[in-house]
Amino acid sequence: MTISGVLRTFALLTVPLALTAEHAELSQIQTVYLLPMGNALDQYLANRLTQLGPYRVVTDPKLADAVFTDRLGKVFETRFEELFPTPAEPAPPAPAEEEKSAEKTEAVTTKGPADQGERIVPPSSFGRGKGTVFLVERKSRRVVWSAFENPKTTAPEVLDGTAERLVKQLKRDLAAK
> Could you give the C-alpha distances from 98 to 44, 94, 105, 109, 154, in angstroms and in order?
62, 11, 11, 17, 67
- Condensed to tens digits (0 to 9), the pLDDT of residues 160-169 reads 999 999 999 9
pTM above 0.85, yes or no: no
HSE (side-chain half, CA atoms, 13 Å) at 19: 11
What percent of the chain clears pLDDT 70, i.e. is strictly above it?
A: 66
Using the predicted structure, report yes or no on whether residue 62 has a pLDDT greater than 50: yes
What percent of the chain clears pLDDT 90, i.e. is strictly above it?
A: 58
Using the predicted structure, report yes or no on whether residue 72 has a pLDDT greater than 80: yes
Average per-residue pLDDT for the chain: 79
Residues 6+ apart with CB under 8 A from 45: 34, 37, 68, 133, 163, 166, 167
pLDDT of residue 137: 96
Confidence label for 93 from pLDDT (cuts 50, 70 and 90): confident
Across the range 55-68, mean pLDDT stands at 97
Q: Which amino acid is at 170?
A: L
- Condensed to tens digits (0 to 9), the pLDDT of residues 143-152 reads 999 999 999 9
Confidence label for 90 from pLDDT (cuts 50, 70 and 90): confident
Using the predicted structure, report yes or no on whether residue 70 has a pLDDT greater than 80: yes
